[in-house]
């Protein structure tokens, strides 16, 4: 069953159609890999599906046919959607720990004043930072982290938000989470993603590394110039000539 679908979705920036009549589906509880050359509209797809950008035309449909023309970014959690950004977005002059605490307490500032809640939030923060190998860095300012550590911290933030949120996050978008990570870090992120799937979550993974796409994806969607070029099982899709050519044509 699709948990999220688009119908003839179009997003224009001036004269450019970043998404052009795109009709796709994301299956509940599966990992869908989204691939395609640079500029094919992958990040734009995430931006409109998470409500960061308004759409030009078409429809976005969540779960049971509720028509949603536009989800505002602040409404994302209430629809059970969260995401990472291709460009890491951190609070640079705050510590690693505070970067986590800010996202998990900001919807409940008053509650955060109570010791009980602080301990609760601290536990969540400690948990996710340990998970991603960042606990030793908790006192470091975000600006001083390496590129890979920054990406891990962003993923830690998404996980922390998931654990702290009273609403249940169901869909996770990862926009090139592995880019620039060392192999050990890649392994960590792979295990986080497999874990989320195990817990029944729906994942959308934008990634250029085809080994990772093969390892993680149940289904692959190939985009080219804002349109759907191909979709299907990873092995099928990745051996198609038109898909290979779209990549070689870069």
Q: Which residues bind ligand ADP (CB under 6 A)?
A: 13, 16, 18, 36, 38-44
* Chain length of the chain: 250
* Least separation in angstroms between CB 201 and Mg ion: 22
Structure tokens at 40: 């094919």
Q: Is the Cβ–Cβ distance between 6 and 49 less than 8 Å?
A: yes
Residue that has been written with the tokens 């190939």 in this structure: 222
Least Å distance, CB 170 to Mg ion, is: 23
Q: Which helix (H) or strand (E) holds 2?
A: strand 2-13
Given 43, 47, 50, 82, the residue binding Mg ion (CB under 5 A): 43
d(CA 66, CA 75): 15
CB 151 within 8 A of CB 88: yes
> Could you tell me the smallest distance in angstroms from the CB atom of residue 207 to ligand ADP?
11
Considering CB distances under 5 to 8 angstroms, the limit depending on partner class, which of Mg ion, ligand ADP, none binds residue 82? Answer: none
Q: In whole angstroms, how close is the CB of 86 to Mg ion at the nearest point?
A: 5
Residue 225 touches which member of Mg ion, ligand ADP, none, C-beta under 5-8 Å by kind: none
**Residue 73 binds which of ligand ADP, Mg ion, none (CB < 5-8 A, kind-dependent):** none
**Strand 219-224, strand 2-13: pairing:** unpaired
Q: Interface with Mg ion by CB under 5 A: which residues? A: 42-43, 86
């Amino acid at each position: 069953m699709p948990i999220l679908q688009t119908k003839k979705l179009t997003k224009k920036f001036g004269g450019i159609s970043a998404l052009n009549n795109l009709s796709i589906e994301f299956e509940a509880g599966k990992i869908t890999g989204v691939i395609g050359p640079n500029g094919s509209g992958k990040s734009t797809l995430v931006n409109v599906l998470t409500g960061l950008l308004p759409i030009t035309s078409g429809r976005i449909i969540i779960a049971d046919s509720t028509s949603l023309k536009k989800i505002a970014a602040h409404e994302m959690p209430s629809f059970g959607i969260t995401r990472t950004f291709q460009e890491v977005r951190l609070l640079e002059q705050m510590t690693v720990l505070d970067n986590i605490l800010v996202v998990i307490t900001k919807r409940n500032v008053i509650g955060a004043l109570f010791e009980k809640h602080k301990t609760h939030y601290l536990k969540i923060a400690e948990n996710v930072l340990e998970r991603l190998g960042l606990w030793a860095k908790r006192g470091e300012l975000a600006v001083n982290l390496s590129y890979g550590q920054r990406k891990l911290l962003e993923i830690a933030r998404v996980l922390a938000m998931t654990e702290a949120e009273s609403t249940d996050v169901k869909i996770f978008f990862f926009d090139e989470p592995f880019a620039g990570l060392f192999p050990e870090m890649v392994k960590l992120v792979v295990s986080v993603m497999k874990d989320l799937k195990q817990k029944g979550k729906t994942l959308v993974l934008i990634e250029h590394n085809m080994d990772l796409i093969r390892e993680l994806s149940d289904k692959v969607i190939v985009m080219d110039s804002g349109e759907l070029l191909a979709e299907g099982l990873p092995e099928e899709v990745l051996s198609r000539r038109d898909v290979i050519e779209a990549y070689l044509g870069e």
